[in-house]
Amino acid sequence: MGWTKCLRRLPSDRFVIFSLIGVAFFLYDAMRDRSDNLIVVSEAEIEMLEGRWQRQSGSRPTPSERDALIEHYIEEEVYVREAQRLGLDQDDVIIRRRLAQKMELLIKSQIEEPDLEQAAVRRFFSEHGDLYRVPSRLALRHIYLGSDNEAPADLASDIQETLKTSTEASAWRQLGEAFMLAREYAPGSQAEYAEAFGTEFSDQVFADASQRDWFGPVRSAYGWHLVQVLSFTPEDTPELDEIFDIVARDLRANLLNKSEARVQAEMLAKYDVDIRRPNE
């Protein structure tokens, strides 16, 4: 009878109720702490560690090396958990970026590679042919005439006459002034010559690319030059069969990018964004 009376009094005894609640919380915290402090190194994780070692070293780890990998993994896991308990993962730019990068990689890994049909590759090539156009290119040699503001027309004329009467193929190398860069250039595009000598030089040389005699003076970022074009290849777009694998690779990348953008848009749509700009 005594126990029955005690049990009947429990719901009305606030002290007992609060005591039981306290005990329950204590037990919950103890169980949670025990769970948080448990580190399980599974077979899958060990295989992952061994696989990473093999990719880096080219061979499977020895038993002692495997033990060292596991020990390092445990130490790393302890550091991560302790850092999380201290809140070190909060508001950290590097961690935010790393998590974002891992999410991007996860999205990429879940997108299946598209199967490409030849018709799709040909359609992509017809729509994006400009991407595969090979620019015109030329090779040249030049004689540096100096850096005067005015074009040295008389000097250019005298050197051209010397070149016409000379029987030595390399005579041009001894003419003009010393130049800090090369005197002869392998085939390059107009953009490449513009980067090396300036736009004015590049534009004039490509405009006169059909000439094979020395011409000038041509102005560059360095001064004035006489120029001889050695070879010229006009702009051209190769046939699809010549670059089919390249076009297929680009199409596959284009489709994967679109799929990734679609997944990102769907993910973003789950969130309400409130941008509070300064002074608004």
Radius of gyration of the chain (CA): 37
Extract the tokens encoding 107.
């999205």
Extract the tokens encoding 24.
């329950």
- Per-residue pLDDT tens for 177-212? 999 999 999 999 999 999 999 999 999 999 999 988
CA distance 143 to 273: 63
CA distance 124 to 204: 35
Query: Do 142 and 226 meet the contact criterion of CB atoms below 8 Å apart?
Result: yes
Residue with tokens 């935010």: 96
Greatest mean pLDDT range, 13-27, 68-82, 249-263: 249-263
Query: Do 14 and 22 meet the contact criterion of CB atoms below 8 Å apart?
Result: no
E strands in the chain: 137-146, 184-189, 215-219, 224-233
Percent of residues, the chain, with pLDDT higher than 70: 87
pTM: 0.54
What number of other Cβ atoms are within 10 A of residue 42's Cβ?
Answer: 8
For residue 60, what is the DSSP state?
P
> Domains of the chain: which residue ranges?
2-36, 92-129+239-265, 134-233
For residue 115, what is the DSSP state?
P
pLDDT over threshold 60, residue 6: no
Extract the tokens encoding 80.
């991560």
Residues 6+ apart with CB under 8 A from 203: 190, 194
Confidence band of 138 (pLDDT split at 50, 70, 90): very high
CA distance 117 to 84: 49
- Per-residue pLDDT tens for 224-272? 999 999 999 999 999 999 999 999 999 999 999 999 989 888 888 888 8
Residues 6+ apart with CB under 8 A from 269: none
Q: Which CATH class is domain 134-233?
A: alpha beta
pLDDT over threshold 80, residue 13: no
Residue with the bigger pLDDT between 9 and 147: it is 147
Helical spans, DSSP H, in 10-92 = 14-36, 43-57, 63-85
Query: What local confidence, expressed as pLDDT, does residue 217 receive?
Result: 95
Dihedral sign from CA coordinates of 232, 235, 237, 239: negative
From residue 161, alpha-carbon distances to 76, 154, 230 in Å are: 78, 11, 19
143 phi and psi, to 5 degrees?
Answer: -120, 125
